[in-house]
Chains A and B, each alone.
Chain A
Amino acid sequence: MANLELTAEKYALLKTFIDENRSETSGLMPVLHKAQDIFGCIPIEVQKFISKELNVSVSEIYGVVTFYSRFSTEPVGDHLIGVCLGTACYVKGAQKILDELQSALKIKPEETTADGKFTLTATRCLGACGLAPVMMIDDEVYGRLTPDMVPDILSKYDKEETK
């Protein structure tokens, strides 16, 4: 499991954002996006904090956090791998890419490796259908994949950790 640090600095960052954007029509979503950015996830402690700041009940916040797939309550790995399972990618063999990643990382989709390095997810269409099948590691998109490319791509991230 990746590390989860709920430091005072991070809370302060979130507080500043909330204060700067406080208005009647600001809504909960921008705050949750910010929290996800700062903490890497939105655990119950953070939800309680937001609840106090915005005067919205924790149950409502919890409902919203768990509804949207971009918000998570548990920390994700250092690198987030998203394999596109949109139609175009699926027709072009994305399932094989996902299978290969599962056997290489020894985890199932929505799980994190024991060393906290990778989290594997199956995502919806990334809109890069012209390059199908594709996957995204953090902000980098890899296109026209074949299963035998997977180990090379992963090793790139392994190396950079040990540097």
Chain B
Amino acid sequence: MQYYRAHVLICGGTGCTSGKSLEIKAELEKQLVTYGIENEVKVVMTGCFGLCEAGPIMVVYPEGTFYAHVQVKDVKKIVEEHLFKGRIVKEKLYYEALDEDKVISVNEVEFYAKQKRIALSNCGVIDPENIDEYLAKDGYQALIKVLTDMKPREVIEEIKKSGLRGRGGAGFPTGLKWEFASNYEDDMKYVCCNADEGDPGAFMDRSILEGTPHSVIEAMTIAGYATGSKKGYIYIRAEYPIAVKRLEIAIKQAKDYGLLGNNILDTKFSFDIEIRLGAGAFVCGEETALIESIEGKRGMPRTKPPFPAEKGIWGKPTLINNVETFANIPAIILKGGEWFGSIGTEKSKGTKVFALGGKIKNTGLVEIPMGTTLREVIYGIGGGIPDNKKFKAVQTGGPSGGCLTAEHLDTPIDYDNLVSIGSMMGSGGMIVMDEDTCMVDIARFFLDFTCEESCGKCTPCREGTKRLKEILDKIVAGNGTIEDLDRLENLAGYIKDNALCNLGQTAPNPVISTLKFFRDEYMAHVVDKKCPTSVCKDLLQYTITDKCIGCGSCAKVCPQGCIEPLGKEINSKTKRRQYVIDQNKCIKCGACLEACPPKVKAIIRK
């Protein structure tokens, strides 16, 4: 066995990879050779560390030194100073990893110390392309336990006991879903993993697949045993090439070790997994649409019932769970349903992964026990809003969710609380918005999304979302009336009640919740014809005040050529005529505002 005195872990998640972490790894290996210590230091590419804000991330063990924003040019210094000479390169440390002069290890940094990681426990810890490291972290122990001394019924009971609910959005109890699927008898049954993560702002499924693909494979195999099926499908977005590659590697390794395939661990149980790629249709995240897509059809939802547990893929009983749901299964089997049930709130057990994004300092992935308050997540772990701006709202649940405001900050997060305040858990995206975000514009943004992604099967969704969007377009263009707000409300309620699938039923949520909590902003748009945050271009007006010194800087940059020295006043100091903007020609690009000398500040935007 080769002994290494140091392990360097480099994040190989999508975020850090786009920050060139692959090149950093190559440079690191090169520099280690240059310094002749390549046999003393081991380089490991891991999955996502979760703190994408600090990426690309590099962690050096045994000290747990946490380097952030590492660039290729920094590698030489880290190798020479830290790995060769043993002096930590303090200026490259993550800002919280240095307290006065004391270096704090990665696990003690606030962002990680406040989390409880179950689904993400292996992310950023093991090499996802090495099955041995997964085995070392208790990997496949749950499968061994299940196959050697549990009956399928007992497995399902354990999951039911845990209280685990689906992490993909609706929050259906997972144990019940397994039970339904196991109750239908057929010659062929399927287990399907829904990895068509489509909610904008959510990327936990991608990170789990990139960081610990074996967890999902193990859990699917356990589900296969519990429900009596032999074949699994993973339906994954084609937009996630790294996750697809790691899954392919993991499946191959599992087959090599006999953990997938025929007669697993010399039992009578056989199970195999196939990857299916999505092709860029949001609606395929809906389980029946996903089934249609696997069968090679347009991804349009089916009417339920029959539910997939009865008639799913190729008309056979099918169990569909989301990636994060599966990632919790091995821990539940090993530590018991009671242990899992002891975490979280009364009706929402365990932990949930949230993707923090938007106007928040620590963007990235966090896993917290259910029942944690929004305040703790946003200000405690997330580090608050950057640039001292004011918190306005947080959007949860993607295009199906709603916006929560400052008054909800102390609400404990769980499935039922979020629904009761007009949003939903969804897949766990949390987009934070500050005082500069226009809520009407955000509502329009989501409608734009659902409009385009509506599959077109049912009229309420196909036509209704279009009409909603037209009204919102009208409002942000400054042509809205107060009656339009009532129309929005009526139509939203109608779509909610009549659409075929969940996507359609929840599509109006962003409109409903912004209307409820930010009606004053809508009123400003339709009555005063003003956008309080200066986001909606058509409602802006640029004017030149009498501070103008007639320098003409603005006229030079104006793409429309609509600023001319036509003012009544002549500046007393410069003896030049002041400039005026022709409002009819102005396209509100704001170039003049930037061109006006900072000392003068004669142009204002209202």
Please report which residues of chain B, range 1-47, place their CB below 8 angstroms from some CB of chain A when the two chains form the complex.
14-15, 17-19
Contact A130 B395, CB 8 Å, known A29-B277, A69-B279, A124-B200: no
Inter-subunit contact A130/B53 (CB<8 Å): yes
A68 to B17, CA, bound (A): 27
Interfacial chain B residues near A123, Cβ < 8 Å: 239
Inter-subunit contact B15/A128 (CB<8 Å): yes
Contact A131 B52, CB 8 Å, known A33-B238, A125-B198, A125-B199: yes
A123 to B358, CA, bound (A): 17
Contact A128 B279, CB 8 Å, known A27-B296, A88-B201, A90-B445: no
Interfacial chain B residues near A70, Cβ < 8 Å: 238, 279-280
Contact A29 B395, CB 8 Å, known A91-B431, A131-B55: no
Chain B residue, CB-CB nearest to A132: B357
Report the interface size for chain A: residues with CB under 8 A from the other chain: 39
Contact A29 B18, CB 8 Å, known A87-B429, A91-B433: no
Name the distance in Å between A74's Cβ and chain B's nearest Cβ. Answer: 16
Contact bitstring B177-214, A, C-beta under 8 A = 1, else 0: 00000000000000000000111111100100000000
Contact A29 B294, CB 8 Å, known A69-B279, A88-B357: yes
Chain A residue, CB-CB nearest to B441: A90
Interfacial chain B residues near A142, Cβ < 8 Å: 18
Contact bitstring B232-257, A, C-beta under 8 A = 1, else 0: 00000011110000000000000000
Residue from B14, B238, B277, B445 in contact with A128 in the complex, judged by beta carbons closer than 8 Å: B14
A68 to B19, CA, bound (A): 29
Inter-subunit contact B200/A86 (CB<8 Å): yes
Inter-subunit contact B297/A64 (CB<8 Å): yes
Inter-subunit contact A129/B357 (CB<8 Å): yes
Inter-subunit contact B279/A124 (CB<8 Å): no
Chain A residue, CB-CB nearest to B243: A127
Interfacial chain A residues near B206, Cβ < 8 Å: 127
Inter-subunit contact A130/B52 (CB<8 Å): yes
Q: Is B579 an interface residue (CB 8 A)?
A: no
How many CB-defined contacts (below 8 Å) exist between A and B? Answer: 136
Chain B residue, CB-CB nearest to A32: B279
Inter-subunit contact B314/A63 (CB<8 Å): no
Q: Is A139 an interface residue (CB 8 A)?
A: yes
Q: Is A71 an interface residue (CB 8 A)?
A: yes
Residue from B200, B278, B299, B314 in contact with A125 in the complex, judged by beta carbons closer than 8 Å: B200
Inter-subunit contact A87/B200 (CB<8 Å): yes
A85 to B453, CA, bound (A): 13
Report the interface size for chain B: residues with CB under 8 A from the other chain: 54
Q: Is A116 an interface residue (CB 8 A)?
A: no
Residue from A30, A92, A124, A126 in contact with B358 in the complex, judged by beta carbons closer than 8 Å: A92
Contact bitstring A43-84, B, C-beta under 8 A = 1, else 0: 000000000000000001001100111110000000000000
Inter-subunit contact A30/B281 (CB<8 Å): no
Contact bitstring A114-146, B, C-beta under 8 A = 1, else 0: 000000000111111111101000011111000
Name the distance in Å between A119's Cβ and chain B's nearest Cβ. Answer: 15
Q: Is B293 an interface residue (CB 8 A)?
A: yes
A139 to B199, CA, bound (A): 21
Interfacial chain A residues near B431, Cβ < 8 Å: 87-88, 91
Inter-subunit contact A67/B281 (CB<8 Å): yes
Chain A residue, CB-CB nearest to B456: A67
A125 to B282, CA, bound (A): 10
Q: Is A25 an interface residue (CB 8 A)?
A: yes
Contact A30 B277, CB 8 Å, known A86-B201, A124-B198: yes
Contact bitstring B253-281, A, C-beta under 8 A = 1, else 0: 00000000000000000000000111111
Q: Which residues of A contact B (CB under 8 A)?
A: 25-30, 32-33, 60, 63-64, 67-71, 85-88, 90-92, 123-132, 134, 139-143
Q: What are the 8 tightest A-B residue pairs by CB atom distance, in nearest-first order?
A: A130-B52, A28-B296, A141-B18, A27-B296, A88-B357, A86-B200, A68-B279, A127-B203
**A-B contacts, 28 listed (Cβ < 8 Å):** A26-B296, A27-B296, A29-B294, A29-B296, A64-B297, A68-B278, A70-B279, A87-B358, A87-B442, A87-B446, A88-B201, A90-B200, A90-B445, A91-B359, A123-B239, A124-B239, A124-B449, A124-B453, A125-B203, A127-B197, A127-B239, A128-B15, A130-B363, A131-B15, A131-B363, A134-B18, A139-B241, A143-B19
**13 new A-B contacts at CB < 8 Å, known A25-B314, A131-B52:** A29-B294, A33-B238, A68-B280, A70-B280, A86-B200, A87-B446, A90-B200, A91-B431, A91-B442, A124-B198, A124-B453, A127-B202, A143-B18
